[in-house]
Amino acid sequence: MESLPDLNPLSAAEKDDLIRSWVARVVELTAKVIELEGRLALNSQNSSKPPSSDGYGKPKPKSLRGVGKNPTGGQKAR
């Protein structure tokens, strides 16, 4: 990280301009972070991306089939 600049030789107007430029940069970078986090949250279920682009962290598939009235398993033994 860079060291802070020496602000003593600057006038009040120059300091105000510097603060305005820093605030504008912070706003710009915050917007970029929000946009990139939104992109990271996309997967094939909530976008038009193909399932192969999900990688290893893709969500597990959910069955659309409801619970039946019959028990699971094969025939009962006699």
Q: What is the per-residue pLDDT for 2? A: 79
* Residue-level length of the chain: 78
Q: Say whether pLDDT at 7 is over 90.
A: no
Across the chain, what does the average pLDDT equal? Answer: 86
pLDDT digits (tens, 9 = 90+) for 12-34: 999 999 999 999 999 999 999 99
Nearest to 4 by CA among 15, 51, 20: 15
DSSP annotation of 6 reads: -
Q: What is the pTM of this model?
A: 0.55
Mean pLDDT of 29-52: 87
Q: What is the per-residue pLDDT for 58? A: 66
